[in-house]
Structure 1
Amino acid sequence: MSMGVQALLERQEGIRVRVESSTAQALSLARREPQAAVIVISPTLTVDNKEELAQFAAVSKVVFLAKGENTHRSLEALALGVRAVLSVESSAEHLLQVLQTVIAMDAIIMPFAARDGLDQIAAARGSSALAVRTSETLTLREKEVTLLLTQGYTNTEIARKLSITPTTVRSHVHHLLKKLGAASRAQAIALAYETGLIGTIERQLVRTQ
């Protein structure tokens, strides 16, 4: 897989690729020489290697290729700061498309297999006291931005839907991260589902319409 990806990116796209089989060496390189993105392939690291995934996510945009049976756990990886989760069975062309999107835009990408898990988490959490308290700190516009973030929209798309500028969207996202205590958009999305905040916001927005 890694050699096929390297050939596609270097020969067809002209993208310089470094392949490292050692996690320690790859992390050292990413810290020493900032990379546009880091591709992590299971089983070198799995969803259970939370510390290592978080370390990579702290220094670069991480695209994580997980085993098919673990793609439903994508939310766990996103909560660590990973930008995209794909199955290791994905084609090199699909990986290239996701990689280009992650590098070019502030986007979060997860497999369809993880979507049902998100809905189940939101339904199970309901309107927890924490979710209600957190929602009370958010402005109406911040709630709208939060909802669109969890639906996978980019800043540019959110700006179009809400008829505001991308700069204003970035400002709202910045305030959201601060209020949620999240270090990244991915962590904010994970927290919104895990605490039941997203369900609370959805009900509040319906009442305002």
Structure 2
Amino acid sequence: MTVQTLIPAPRKIEPARPTERQLTILTQLALGHGNIKAGRAAGVSADTVKRDIQRMYAATGIRTRPGLVGWAYRAGLVPRLYADRAPVTLPRRRAQILDLVARGKHNRAIARELYLTPDTVRTHINLLFKDLDAHSQAQAVALGYEFGLLGDVKPEARAC
């Protein structure tokens, strides 16, 4: 009698999709809202919003809110929110910085990559807010996608 070792066939694992509540939170972040307003829209507390964002960070490998919004736009999870706004164009350097923000980079990492000081990066981001009429980096990323300024950004994260 021979002993046979059975090796289970590999399972195909589907990437987890965000829950409806997490999609609502991502949409609220794209609109430039914080935890409190996002929580009101999702019907939960600001602490629950924070925990859901932490779960999305863990699931995607992305560590910034603008990076999550960029991921959601690339994945087609967030609807068009700014169709009524007139598109804008950005100077080359601001477009580069917006691209890196959409990839989930922090200001210091952007400064290192573009050989700038963190203060210069912060100044460019503030000018981005003015150019795009945005109130947060996450909203600036959303507007960048809506206006076609960010189209081919490759995420530096795994799929959720």
Which category describes the TM-score, using the shorter chain as reference length?
0.5 to 0.7
Distance 1:180 1:159 in 2: 21
**Which residue of structure 1 aligns with residue 20 of structure 2?**
69
**Which residue of structure 2 aligns with residue 185 of structure 1?**
137
Point out which structure has higher relative CO (alpha carbons under 8 A, 6+ apart). Answer: 2
Query: What do you get for the CA RMSD once the two structures are aligned?
Result: 3.9
Contact preservation (8 Å) 2:97, 2:125: yes
**Which residue of structure 1 aligns with residue 111 of structure 2?**
159
The reply on whether 1:118 has 2:83 as its aligned counterpart is no
Distance 1:81 1:187 in 2: 8
**Which residue of structure 2 aligns with residue 15 of structure 1?**
none
Distance 2:86 2:143 in 1: 11
Q: Which has the higher helix share?
A: 1
Q: 2:96 pairs with 125, 132, 144, which one?
A: 144
Could you give the per-residue CA deviations for residues 155-193 of structure 1, whole angstroms, max 9, x where no partner exists? 111001111100110111011100001122222122122
State the TM-score, normalized to the length of structure 1.
Answer: 0.43
Distance 2:93 2:103 in 1: 16
Q: Which runs of 5+ in 2 are unaligned?
A: 1-17, 36-48, 154-160
- Structure number with bigger Rg: 2
Contact preservation (8 Å) 1:87, 1:111: no
Identity percentage of aligned residues: 30
**Which residue of structure 1 aligns with residue 9 of structure 2?**
none
State the TM-score, normalized to the length of structure 2.
Answer: 0.54
Q: Which runs of 5+ in 1 are unaligned?
A: 1-66, 95-100, 102-106, 203-209
Q: Which has the higher strand share?
A: 1
Distance 1:120 1:89 in 2: 19
The one-letter code matched in structure 2 to 1:118 is Y
**Which residue of structure 1 aligns with residue 52 of structure 2?**
87
Deviation at 1:80, TM superposition (A): 2.9
Equivalences, count: 113
The one-letter code matched in structure 1 to 2:52 is S
Distance 1:150 1:85 in 2: 20
**Which residue of structure 2 aligns with residue 47 of structure 1?**
none
Contact preservation (8 Å) 2:107, 2:122: yes
Change (3 A) 1:75 1:87: closer
